[in-house]
Chain A
Amino acid sequence: MRRYSAFAIAREAARFHTGWERAWRSPEPKKKYDVIIVGAGGHGLATAFYLGKNFGITNVAIIEKGWLGGGNTGRNTTIIRSNYLQDPSAAIYEKARSLYETMSQDLNYNVMFSPRGVMMLAQTQSEIRGYERTAHANALQGVTTEFIGPERVKELVPIINIDGPRYPVLGALWQARGGTGRHDAVAWGYARACSDMGMDIIQKTEVIGVRQEGGKVTGVDTTKGPIDCDKLGLVVAGNSGDLANMAGFRLPMESVALQALVSEPIKPCMDVVVMANTVHGYMSQSDKGEMVIGGGTDGFNNYTQRGSFHHVEETVRALVETFPIVSRLKMLRQWGGIVDVTGDRSPVIGKTPLGNCFINAGWGTGGFKAIPGGGWATAELIAKGEPGPLSAEFGMDRFIEGRFIDESVAAGVAH
């Protein structure tokens, strides 16, 4: 792999950009791999990357039915934060956030991590209490957040209307080290690094069956024929239920559509991420100037990657109230992604009822921010066969034991 650098740009400029090489190979699948990861999204690619980097396992295939990073990784609103309430969540999301800080250097790929600060508005008395509690919990967990008053909110976000008629801004939970990243670049950077380690990224190949013998996984059937493996990782977000069905078990999650939209580009007007959970809207401004807006999930199971229109209306209505200047903005694009939501709004990283088959799923509406942490934990799980400290609490057995990691307040709507 030829490194990207300022020197490389100068070199290629001098020879009319003829020397750039493909960022990753697109090989035909081999007969057998040590590990097969199903799903070349952020979490799948990160899992493969840390399998190679942390454990030296590089005989790995990542199988993707579409194109890499084309699912939720390319559809989210790119927010990165770790201000969760429960200890296990804080640990894995903070691990992810800290890995984002050095990701561009680690991958030699600019993921445009921008720690611009994430603000979650408190617009009711109960939200004030909730976020003050989260700020205290974060202090104990070593995650730097603070509860700020309305004056500081206005200072950080001059375009905000803090005296809204229905939902005045009473304060906010502020994580200065949160921010945004370039979602596609995260997938592309990991893919390039994985390919460089000799891993095979097999796109446009759908897994249509999970082969097993004596309660253990032996391989997968794909649209390009059977491929054997010793260990299998299912990292397919919204399609987890479908894959689990092929593997012969059920999951404690359901797939629903989550929507987002972006406006036409405008001049810089907001340099932080603002989330308003009471009115169900959140917004940040991309480097191109578009306002990136996140909406809500539908209440019903859906695999169509299209959501209901009334959520768009609700989200925009809420934002116009909170940010009056956006009222004349035209919306450029609107889209949906399929997210897999668990009962306690926390992910599942753990073993499955099928031997040597592992799962990373259930990130619901907030998987992007967790990509490096989730990949790190899943790689450890697959390499050792047992969960490590980061994923120990996230096994599926927590549902039978009643040991929930309840993040419905932190993760219920906005991401």
Chain B
Amino acid sequence: MLTLQCPYCGVDAEETELHAEGEAHLKRFGPGSSDDDFETYLFMRENPKGVHFERWRHSNGCGKFFHAARSTTTLEVFGTYSAQTYEPPQDIKDKITAKYPGWSWREFA
């Protein structure tokens, strides 16, 4: 069972305590934006085979949203981090690089 540590309350929460909330670091577009931007934001997804960044919610716990870095092929968790950021923290990126040199995900590498 997938276990993630909530970066807010520090609890090691297993999957049934959490809710997956989809791809992380989406740039949001609202009224007045172009059709392409709106479509990309709402529907287009990375869906990578390998390193992935996601939003999760500690729904049956403290209730906070947070981010997780995970591999979709091994289910290995590289770390979790605050939702109040536009990019993954350097230490998590370094941890991924150590295991998967040359990885990239959207504009991050």
Contact with A along B47-77 (1 / 0, CB 8 A): 1110010100000000000000010111100
Contact A304 B39 (CB under 8 A): no
A206 to B43, CA, bound (A): 28
Inter-subunit contact B20/A300 (CB<8 Å):
yes
On whether the beta carbons of B19 and A299 are closer than 8 Å, the reply is yes
- Asked if A4 CB lies within 8 Å of chain B CBs, one says no
- A309–B1 Cα gap in the complex (Å)? 7
**Other-chain contact of A298, B20, B39, B40 (Cβ < 8 Å):** B20
The reply to whether B39 and A301 contact each other, CB–CB distance below 8 Å, is no
A299 with B75: CB separation less than 8 A = no
Decide: B43 and A252 in contact? CB cutoff 8 A: yes
Contact B48 A245 (CB under 8 A): yes
Using Cβ atoms and an 8 Å threshold, which residues of chain B touch A300?
A: 2, 20, 54, 70
Q: Is the CB of B52 within 8 A of A308?
A: no
Contacts of A291 in B (CB 8 A): none
Q: B44 within 8 Å of A by Cβ? A: yes
The answer for the CA separation of A253 and B46 in the assembled complex, in Å, is 9
Is A406 among interface residues, defined by CB-CB distance under 8 A?
no
Interface: B107 (CB within 8 A): no
Of the residues B20, B43, B75, contact of A399 by C-beta under 8 Å: B43
A314 to B24, CA, bound (A): 28
* Complex interface: chain A residues within 8 A of B16 (CB): 310
B20 to chain A, nearest CB (A): 3
Within B1-55, which residues are at the interface with A (CB < 8 Å)?
1-2, 15-16, 19-20, 22-23, 35-36, 39-40, 42-49, 52, 54
CB distance from A249 to the nearest CB of B (A): 9
Q: Is the CB of A250 within 8 A of B44?
A: yes
- Please give the residue numbers on chain A whose beta carbons come within 8 Å of chain B beta carbons, in ascending order: 239-242, 245, 250-255, 298-304, 308-310, 340, 342-343, 399-400
Can you add 20 more A-B contacts, CB < 8 Å, to A255-B47, A301-B48, A302-B72? Answer: A239-B49, A240-B47, A241-B47, A241-B48, A242-B47, A242-B49, A251-B47, A252-B45, A254-B23, A255-B72, A299-B19, A300-B54, A300-B70, A301-B47, A301-B52, A304-B73, A308-B2, A309-B1, A340-B47, A400-B39
